Amino acid sequence: QVQLVESGGGLVQVGGSLRLSCQASLRIFRLNAMGWHRQAPGNERELVAAISREGSTNYAHSVEGRFTISRDNAKNTVYLQMNSLKPEDTAVYYCNSNGPVGNYWGQGTQVTVSS
């Protein structure tokens, strides 16, 4: 069954904002850390941001100060607020849940930043 459902990608101009959402099944959301990764064409998948069950966060250096990850425990949803977007942020963004109940990936959502 589908464990992670993503939404919110799209096309935006340089300097714009987007918010990605990822709704997880109750079990994995409660027990796992959540994160966002991205993969641009020709590049390896890389961690963008992660948030623990307790709310501790960490970010890739390239997005610090521009992106914010958060989780809504009442909705089993993790968000990635992306501001001041740059062309180099263009990629497929994947939601990830990793922890004691396994490692799960969303289907990916395209983010394209036009200059």
* Segment 44-57, tens digit of pLDDT: 999 999 999 999 99
State the Cα angle at 12 between 78 and 18, rounded to 5°. Answer: 20
Cβ neighbours for 108, distance < 8 A, ≥ 6 positions apart? 6, 39, 92, 93, 94
Cα–Cα distance between 64 and 17 in angstroms, integer? 15
Report pLDDT for 3: 86
Give kind and range of the element (H or E) at residue 26: helix 26-31
Phi, psi of 48 (to 5 degrees): -100, -50
Q: What is the pLDDT of residues 11-27, one digit of tens each?
A: 999 999 999 999 999 98
Q: 66-102 pLDDT, tens per residue?
A: 999 999 999 999 999 999 999 999 999 999 999 998 9
**Dist CA 34 CA 52 (whole Å):** 6
